[in-house]
Chains A and B, each alone.
Chain A
Amino acid sequence: MSAWLQAAVVLVVLAAVHVPLGDLLACAFTSSRHLRAEALLYRAMRVDPDADQRWSTYAGCVLAFSGMSILLLYVLLRVQAHLPFALGHHGMPPAQAWNTAVSFVTNTSWQSYAGEGALGHLTQLAGITVHSFLSAAVGLTVALTLIRGLTRSRTDRVGNFWCDLVRGVVRVLLPLSAVFAVVLLAGGAVQNLHGFHTVPTLAGHTQAVPGGPVASQEAIKLMSGDGGGFYNVNSAHPFENPKAWTNVVEIILMLLIPSAIPRMYGRMVRDTRQGWLLLGVVAVLFTASLALLSWTEAAHHGTVPQAVGASLEGKETRFGPAGTALFANASTASADGAVNGSHDSLTAYGGGVTLVNMLLGEVSPGGVGSGLYGLVSLALVAVFLGGLMIGRTPEYLGKQIRASEIRLVALITLATPVAVLVGTGLTLGLPTPRRSFLNTGAHGLSEGLYAFTSAGNTNGSAFAGLSANTDFYNVGLALAMLVGRYLTMILVIALAGSLARQSPASVTRGTLPTHTPMFAALTAAVAILVVAITYLPALALGPLAEGGT
């Protein structure tokens, strides 16, 4: 499929489902009825789904639930040798199990292991797949608290975590992933519990390939923003991503829920224009990075790329450079991090674009839920600057952005850069981590920068070219994921609490309009400016230095 056609299909499909899917999402979380299945779950968990929680309780629930999840997944990974369908795999070593557990619970799915070489089918199903659902739903819950903070007033309640979590799984993620698992199955993705098959390769060698419950994991892997592949090569593997058209489906899946969330937001804040504004910001950032990435991939000045029309090394020939560029851009702009090619093999500037996509905080459109709160935080910074420039205490949707709110917004903006910069600094500064680089010079530096960028922003894609299964990376990257995910989440929920307590200010002609193209431009400019001023020195020594030579 030609580059333009692929991109056009993706954008047309996303545009077509934007309104209905967004409306469905809004309904799912605003209806007052509980489904029978949900009611049973609530009874089993002994929670009252209608009991609203304070922000601190809600944040406590997020942390406790995630902490328990990490613990359970860690135990599962450690003891898998003693469980059925282990395919003869041993338990994972402690540091790697810790990294993997944190990685999947934080919705990052950075993998320092090779799927088919380390995990049995039960671990894939009960561990990896389950947490794809749960981690995505947790991301949604946090976005919901922020929406409630903006719409409620004079209250200290921001919703019920358990209710939001269950609804996210039961009403949104399960039905959608069931449908798309079947679609991928039809495309040729495998779904079984077979062990290894030994197959002769074209080169005359033999290769052992396991079957497995791939299609069921593949759909939620892409849709949840998780992105951890069943196989090591992720979506470049024919069992995961068999055809050119499944490649397009996979790209759509990564963007499906995140790009519909602005509509849900508009509906829930009872001003759909606000949703359109966020979508506009997303569209501008996404198209700009896609154009840049496609252009750098096609216009590489090396001899071979010139001869064949693009740089092909490290790319899957079934998808071609355009299919790879589109996939890579979707994967890093959403928080998914699935790959269908090696980002290490993108051109220097192309790799830089995927880095910038993540460094933006993954807001174009970002992860399930996390994209929204990232976007709203940026909008709040824009509101603060814009509000001052029209001579008023800054207001967003009738809520004033005062010292207590701007403090939280500032900390949200700070959390991820701390994880990324400190991690990268240590990687380059300490002697051991540097040995993991498979390249020298600027490209080696990019490998280190990419690892912590991907972890701190809970993307999970790998640049490749980095031997990440060392204690430093297993422990350090997990810490970066925890900071990037939970510190941000706690601050966002606290912000929701602070906003919910306010009484609404009235909206007049003197209020900064937050639905105009002007404001969209300001928000996008703030996003780019924040990335530029924070990361330009690091980017200069990595992709910019490499691309300049």
Chain B
Amino acid sequence: MSTTTMAQAPAPAPNPPAAPRRVSGGLLDPKMLWRSTPDALRKLDPRTLWHNPVMFIVEVGAVFTTVLAIRDESAFAWLIVVWLWLTVLFANLAEAVAEGRGKAQADALRRTKTDTVARRLASWQPGQTVDPALVEPVPAPRLAQGDLVVVEAGEFIPGDGDVVEGIASVDESAITGESAPVIRESGGDRSSVTGGTRVLSDQIIVRITQKPGESFIDRMIALVEGANRQKTPNEIALNILLSALTIIFLLAVATLQPLAIFSKAQLPGVPDTEALNGDGVTGIVMVSLLVCLIPTTIGALLSAIGIAGMDRLVQRNVLAMSGRAVEAAGDVNTLLLDKTGTITIGNREARAFIPVGGTSEQRLASAAQLSSLADETPEGRSIVVHAKSTYGLRERGPGELLHARFVPFTAQTRMSGVDLDAYGGDPARLVRKGAASAVINWARELGGVIPADLGETVDGISASGGTPLVVAESVEGTARVLGVIQLKDIVKSGMRERFDEMRRMGIRTVMITGDNPLTARSIAEEAGVDDFLAEATPEDKMALIKREQAGGKLVAMTGDGTNDAPALAQADVGVAMNTGTSAAKEAGNMVDLDSNPTKLIEIVEIGKQLLITRGALTTFSIANDIAKYFAIIPAMFAAIYPGLDKLNIMRLHSPESAILSAVIFNALVIVALIPLALRGVRYTPSSAAAMLRRNLYIYGVGGLVIPFIGIKLIDLVIQFIPGAR
């Protein structure tokens, strides 16, 4: 994945497989290590390294030991010096590799930035046709907010904005990686266009909404490059803890010197060693001890973990506008999920035809099919499909319906249908389907009798989460209600399992829908969400978010429309769909380029994984110190107090090999953990208690045990090197 461009980014995983999933990031390409080495060397500059206090101290120590080694040469001293420099270099390498992956993506994005000349409209009123005389060419970077530009087929859109007139198909593959063109039109929730994308057909007029140099692509480049990456709140908190630990170790090591001098002076007969002489512990060994103790492992990998976390989001085509938002995602308590598109597949489908008043099913099916033949909505098509698959009614050819006039759906009549003239023996016939109240009124006006069982059937369908469409016909002026079509939302497969997982993680899911409470409850139960908000208006959504937040909860939501913008801004994590309006994209703190609302769940997992990785490596880093003490303390002091050799439980070869092994282990463990830092530790959704137990065993107990093994193994190898013998 290391060099994958945005355009090749993998499509989001289709809905969840049943097996436990695992959030994973890109793998580490060994070539990447080599390629990042120049960057790593550049980062040795103390002015850069200063921002990482732990590694800065290692560098100061490396400089100090270099001076000592030059003054007082020995093979042991030079070996320590080399490995101390390598420790700093490995830390820089971790950061450089993490940044390198972002840079590759940024370069790919930059290539999409072309020098466009915009055609700006000097004056234009809505509805007016474009007068070529009033069009002036302007270089795209000089466009101001509020400028109107006209873009025709084949042209690049010069900047981010909203379509104010026209409709066009746009190729957005440059930013989304999705090659299928999308429709952008004025008004509604599909009006936003992004600079750098290409119009494939038709002509649109766009009002520019970006400030010069702050286009979406500019921001994307800055984000993936980590150009102005700021430390996130949790990273700051962790840095404070690491600094405090570093201070403690500085103190412990600094105050050790008078103790060592005193102890040595008490036993004048003991000869000087490489580690301890009359002036106390030698500088080389003192620095080695300090570097081994301070939390270098997590200090070296901390920024790489943060960069890689953002990168994992980018690989899933999500742009987080700040690292803070990614962290907040891990803390989310409540997920607001739009029903349509997230929990259910976009459209409702016909599930059953239920006749009333003694009508036969076949007849109802025939009428339902007839009324839907010209209905190109997904619901209409599903009725035709259902009639064919269940009742064997084939679609009718064009010739059969010569005498038919189709009545389209309007918001006023809330019905659609077909009018058939009397033809070939058949009497004239009107067929209607639509909302129950509208069709009942229509039938009553035409003198029809409403069957007694209709009301019950309609209510029953509503209560079970379906949408009832009543079908009626009027033959020669006599109206009659035939029955009800049951439309039902289709809950995406695997959603219930996902929501169960969420619940185990302590996250409450709330379904947001415009449906009535009865329908909403039924779908909520079927999908397994914890709660639902029915007949939701943007105000209701906002009120719900505020209520949750007042109870100390963090809320995440997705949205696309302009009316979602206030709620997106209010939510702690607001994911705007890329298909949405600029207002929505501006208000949220993340943008999903795939416009896939289900991705919110993955975002939460990535946020958690980021924090877990930090916590796990911190614990590992601190736990490592115990083994290092067991290596170094006997090496330093067994000469004066032979009893301390009891602490040398690893039976290391010699004092020099012991100290060197600890230093080498300390450096190598950084390299060994770079892939883990970039990928993130394994994360399977489970309860907090289970997760704590698992990570404590692996990284806490493992952190205690592994260095004992590692240091011993290194000692077995290096005991043959001169200087460690």
Contact = CB atoms under 8 A, between A and B. Distances in A.
Interface of A: 381, 384-393, 398, 401-403, 405-407, 410-411, 413-414, 417-418, 421-422, 424-426, 428-429, 434, 440-442, 444-445, 503-506, 508-513, 516, 518-519, 522, 525, 529, 532-538, 540-541, 544-545, 547-549
Contacts of B615: 385-391
B619 A385 contact: yes
A483 to B, nearest CB: 13
A420 to B, nearest CB: 9
Contact of B552 (A391, A442, A505, A536): A505
B259 interface: yes
Contacts of A421: 251-252, 255
Contacts of B253: 537
B596 interface: no
A533 B626 CA distance: 7
A103 to B, nearest CB: 23
Interface stretch (B102-110, B653-661, B691-699): B691-699
A-B interface, 4 closest residue pairs, ranked by CB to CB distance from nearest: A548-B643, A510-B506, A388-B615, A391-B608
Given A391-B683, A410-B240, 18 more contacts: A389-B612, A389-B696, A391-B611, A392-B608, A413-B248, A441-B266, A445-B259, A509-B505, A511-B506, A529-B625, A533-B252, A534-B252, A538-B255, A540-B637, A541-B256, A544-B644, A545-B263, A549-B643
Interface stretch (B231-239, B380-388, B436-444): B231-239
A391 B267 contact: no
B123 interface: no
Interface of B: 233-234, 236-238, 240-241, 243-245, 247-249, 251-263, 266-267, 289, 293, 327, 330-331, 333, 503-508, 551-554, 607-612, 614-616, 618-619, 622-623, 625-626, 629, 633, 637, 640-647, 683, 687-689, 691-693, 695-696, 699-700
Contact of A532 (B243, B507, B629, B695): B629
Contacts of A549: 641-643
Contacts of A535: 252
Contacts of B647: 540, 544
Given A385-B618, A386-B692, A529-B626, A537 B259 contact: yes
Contacts of A544: 643-644, 647
Nearest to A443: B266
Contact of B691 (A390, A410, A529, A545): A390
Contacts of B551: 506
B596 to A, nearest CB: 22
Contact of B688 (A426, A503, A509): A509
Contact of A389 (B233, B256, B643, B691): B691
A529 to B, nearest CB: 7
A417 B251 contact: yes
Nearest to B553: A506
Nearest to B687: A509
A69 B90 CA distance: 55
Given A441-B263, A529-B622, A548-B644, A511 B688 contact: yes
Contacts of B554: 505
A414 B248 contact: yes
B337 to A, nearest CB: 17
A535 B695 CA distance: 27
Contacts of A393: 233-234, 327, 330-331, 611
28 contacts: A388-B612, A389-B619, A389-B696, A390-B608, A391-B611, A392-B608, A393-B234, A393-B331, A401-B237, A406-B241, A414-B244, A441-B267, A442-B263, A509-B503, A509-B687, A509-B688, A513-B689, A516-B689, A518-B696, A533-B252, A535-B252, A537-B633, A538-B255, A541-B637, A544-B643, A545-B640, A545-B643, A548-B644
A516 B240 CA distance: 27
A395 to B, nearest CB: 9
B96 to A, nearest CB: 25
